[in-house]
Amino acid sequence: MYAQMVRSTGKGITPREEMSAQERAFQDRVDRDDRIEPRDWMPEGYRKTLIRQIGQHAHSEIVGQLPEGNWITRAPTLERKTILLAKVQDEAGHGLYLYAAAETPGVSRDEMTEDLLSGRMKYSSIFNYPTLTWADMGAVGWLVDGAAIMNQVPLQRTSYGPYARAMVRICKEESFHQRQGYDIMMKMAQGSPEQRRMAQDALDRFWYPSLMMFGPSDAESVHSAQSMAWKIKINTNDELRQKFVDQTVPQAEYLGLTVPDEHLTWNEERGHYDFSQPDWNEFFDVLKGNGPCNTDRLAARRKAWDEGAWVREGLLAHARKKAARHTAAE
C-alpha cells in the first residue's frame, strides 16, 4: 500500500488527490526511499515536523544528562565513574549532532532552546523522574537507553538525510550505554540482598515511565500517520512498545528480577507478551509540566543557558572581528 493512502486515526493526512503536483512528486520520492536533503524542496508540514521531532530529540539528549550527571561523583568505583562520565559525554555529543541536524531545515539552536525554556518544545517524559540510588544508573542504561535504541535503530532509515546519518553513530553509542546499564543491573542482582532489593526497586520505578517513552497509544497519537507517510517515523508507538517489552522481559528474567506487571503473560497465538499499559493520565500530566522533576530540569537548563550567555557573546564578537579583519585584508 502506498504511504499516502494511510489515514490517520488522529489528525488526517492529505490524500494524494488533494496534493499539489509538487507535493505528489515529493511523496513519490519518499515512497521510493530517496533521501531528502536540506536544499531539496519539502512541504512546510514536513519541515515543521522535522524541527519538532529532531529538536525534541536533541533537547532529550541534553536534559537526559542531568539524572545521570547527578551520580558521577557518587559512582561506587573509579571504573564505574569513568564509564558513566563517558556515557554522559556521549549524550552531550548526541545533542550536538541532533541540534546541527535540526538546524538544517531552517531553525537556529538559540530559537530551539528558547522554545524549550518557554515550554513550546518538549523533551522526553522519562527525564522528569528522579534517580534515587546507584541501581537507577543500571535501570536508566538498560531500560531508558534500551527504549531509545528500539526507537532509533529504525530512524537510521528515516527519509531526511541529516537525521538518518546522525542516528547511525548515535545508535552505536546507545548500544554501549544499554550494555553498561545491564552490566550494573547484573552486578546488583547478583550482589547482597540489599543490592538485589535496590535493583528490583529501580526496575519497579522505571518500567512504566520507560514504556511511556514511545509516546501515547496509536489511537491517541496525533502525528504518527502523517509522520509515517513521510517516513520521518518508521514504526508506530505501539509497535515499538511491544518490541521493547518482548525484548526486555527475558532480560529481566535472566537477572532474576520481576517486571512489575501482574498481567504480563506470553501470548502464544500472537507471538508476543500481553502487558499492562502505563497510566496515561500520569504521562499527560508529566507532559504538562507536573512530573516529579520538570521544574528542576528546566531550571537547570535555564541556568546553563543564562550563565553561558557571555561565552556565546564572546564567540560571536570574535567571529565578527575575524570577519572584519578578513574583509579589510581583501
Cβ closer to ligand 3HC: 149 or 325?
Answer: 149
Burial of 5 (0-12, 13-18, 19+ CB in 10 A): exposed
Residue in 70, 82, 115 with CA at minimum distance from that of residue 300: 70
Backbone angles phi, psi at 36, to 5 degrees: -90, 130
215 binds ligand 3HC (CB under 6 A): yes
CA angle 49, 50, 52 (to 5 degrees): 60
How far apart are CB 107 and ligand 3HC at their closest, in Å?
A: 14
How far apart are CB 221 and ligand 3HC at their closest, in Å?
A: 3
241 binds ligand 3HC (CB under 6 A): no
67 binds ligand 3HC (CB under 6 A): no
For residue 122, give the C-alpha cell. 518538549
Backbone angles phi, psi at 108, to 5 degrees: -95, 160
Which of 55, 64, 67, 278 touches ligand 3HC by CB under 6 A?
64
Cβ closer to ligand 3HC: 36 or 148?
Answer: 148
How far apart are CB 213 and ligand 3HC at their closest, in Å?
A: 5
How far apart are CB 228 and ligand 3HC at their closest, in Å?
A: 9
Distance CA 140, CA 321 (A): 45
The upper half-sphere exposure of residue 133, i.e. CA atoms within 13 Å in the direction of its Cβ, equals: 18
223 binds ligand 3HC (CB under 6 A): yes
For the window 2-41, what string marks contact with ligand 3HC as x by the rule CB under 6 A?
A: ----------------------------------------
87 binds ligand 3HC (CB under 6 A): no
Which of 160, 163, 214, 275 touches ligand 3HC by CB under 6 A?
214
Cβ closer to ligand 3HC: 197 or 208?
Answer: 208
For the window 276-305, what string marks contact with ligand 3HC as x by the rule CB under 6 A?
A: -----------x------------------
Q: Is 272 helix (H, G, I), strand (E, B) or coil?
A: strand
Residues 44-63 that bind ligand 3HC (CB under 6 A): 52-53, 56-57, 60-61
Residues 152-211 that bind ligand 3HC (CB under 6 A): none
CA angle 215, 219, 222 (to 5 degrees): 60
Cβ closer to ligand 3HC: 24 or 285?
Answer: 285
For residue 25, give the C-alpha cell. 512528486
How long is the chain? 330
How far apart are CB 132 and ligand 3HC at their closest, in Å?
A: 18
Distance CA 16, CA 43 (A): 14
The type of residue at 79 is E
- Using left for φ > 0, alpha for ψ between -120 and 50, and beta otherwise, residue 122 falls in beta
Q: How many Å separate Cα 173 from the centre of its chain?
A: 14
Which of 16, 24, 29, 122 touches ligand 3HC by CB under 6 A?
122
Distance CA 55, CA 113 (A): 9
CB 293 within 8 A of CB 68: no
CB atoms within 10 A of CB 270: 9
Cβ closer to ligand 3HC: 45 or 194?
Answer: 45
Residues near ligand 3HC (CB under 6 A) are 52-53, 56-57, 60-61, 64, 91, 122, 124-125, 144-145, 148, 151, 212-216, 221-224, 227, 233, 237, 287
